[in-house]
Chain A
Amino acid sequence: MVQKKINLKNKLLKYFPLVLLYFSVLNEFDIDVSSIGLFSFNLPFIIIFYWSLKDPDQIGNGLIFFSGILNDVTLGYPIGVSSFIYLTIIAFAAYLRNITLRPNIYKDSLIFLIAIMFANSVNALILSYVFSIEINFFEIITNITFTFIFYFLFARIFNYLKPLGV
Chain B
Amino acid sequence: MASGRDDFIIAIRSAFLKKSNKQQFSLLALIFFSIFLIFLSNLNFVGIKYIKIGVNEATYRLSAIISYPEKKFIDSINFLTEYFNVYKENQNLKDEIDQLKSEKLNNIFVENENKRLKELVGESSRILDGVISRVLIDKDGKFLKSIILNKGSKDGIKKGMVVLEKNYLVGQVIEVNYTTSRAILISDLNSNIPVVIEPGSFQSILGGTGKSYGKIKYSKDEIDFNNNSIVYTSGSGGNFRAGLPVGKINNQIDKLAVEFFF
Contacts and interface: CB of A to CB of B under 8 A. Distances in A.
A1 B194 CA distance: 67
A139 B142 contact: yes
A31 to B, nearest CB: 11
Given A28-B137, A75-B139, A76-B144, A84 B34 contact: yes
Given A68-B34, A91-B15, A126-B38, A76 B175 contact: yes
Interface residues of B, number: 58
Q: Which applies to chain A's interface (DSSP): helix, strand, loop or mixed?
A: helix
Interface string A102-141: 0000000000000000000001101100110111100110
Contacts of A57: 20-23
B182 interface: yes
Interface string B36-76: 11101110000010011001100110111011001100000
Interface string B20-38: 1111111100110111111
B31 A134 contact: no
Contacts of A40: 142
Contacts of A123: 143
Interface in A4-35: 23, 26-30, 32-35
A123 B71 CA distance: 28
B140 interface: yes
Contacts of B40: 79-80
Interface residues of A, number: 53
A139 B23 contact: no
B146 interface: yes
B15 A28 contact: no
Contacts of A61: 19, 23-27, 30
B138 to A, nearest CB: 7
A133 B40 CA distance: 17
B211 to A, nearest CB: 9
A143 B59 contact: no
A165 interface: no
B41 A80 contact: yes
Given A28-B67, A130-B38, A33 B140 contact: yes
A10 to B, nearest CB: 17
A43 interface: no
A76 B182 contact: yes
A60 to B, nearest CB: 6
Contact of B25 (A62, A78, A95): A62
Interface of B: 7, 10-12, 14-16, 19-27, 30-31, 33-38, 40-42, 48, 51-52, 55-56, 59-60, 62-64, 66-67, 70-71, 137-144, 146, 174-175, 182, 184, 189-190, 209-210
21 contacts: A27-B63, A27-B67, A28-B66, A32-B142, A60-B23, A65-B33, A70-B55, A73-B59, A74-B139, A78-B42, A79-B38, A79-B55, A84-B34, A87-B30, A90-B27, A91-B15, A98-B10, A98-B15, A135-B189, A136-B189, A139-B210
Interface of A: 23, 26-30, 32-35, 40, 56-57, 60-62, 65, 68-70, 73-81, 83-84, 87-88, 90-91, 94-95, 97-99, 123-124, 126-127, 130-131, 133-136, 139-140, 143
Closest 5 CB pairs of A and B: A80-B37, A28-B67, A94-B15, A75-B141, A78-B41
Given A70-B59, A79-B37, 17 more contacts: A32-B141, A33-B139, A34-B140, A35-B140, A61-B27, A74-B63, A75-B139, A76-B174, A79-B51, A87-B30, A94-B27, A95-B11, A130-B42, A135-B143, A136-B209, A139-B210, A143-B142
